[in-house]
Amino acid sequence: FSVILTPSDQAGMNHVAYKVKQDADLDSLKAKVQAYGIATTDLPEGTLPATGRMLQFNLPSGHEMRLYAMKECVGTEVGSINPDPWPDNIKGAGAHWLDHVLLMCPFDPAQ
């Protein structure tokens, strides 16, 4: 996983992105998303650093989703084998073992 934090005057999330198995999956998922009447946008490779082309769409809740197949492994400053849970030499919040995302929105049964 990757978490990209950017300065802002308000708390929030810009988008959630998930990796798919192979590049061809982006095309088949695009057709499935569009079949639900949801508009999609193709984002070119490099829109996010070290990331291949992406499929972007908004869920009915308004949350922006992105799907991609290629992500360059950029590593981590603390390593991947038995990393120190609170490294002394790194400033800021760490996001170790991030394994899920909870998206909240108003519920409208009419939609």
pTM exceeds cut of 0.85? no
Question: Where are the chain's structural domains?
Answer: 16-68
How far apart CA 65 and CA 14 sit, in angstroms, is 9
CA angle 35, 36, 37 (to 5 degrees): 90
Single-letter amino acid, residue 32: K
Q: Cβ(45)–Cβ(51) under 8 Å? A: yes
Nearby residues of 107 by Cβ (< 8 Å), 6 or more positions away: none
CATH code for 16-68? 3.10.180.10
pLDDT digits (tens, 9 = 90+) for 53-100: 999 999 988 999 999 999 988 777 777 788 777 777 777 666 666 678
pLDDT digits (tens, 9 = 90+) for 10-48: 988 889 999 999 999 999 999 999 999 999 999 999 998
Strand runs labelled E in the chain: 16-19, 40-43, 54-58, 64-68
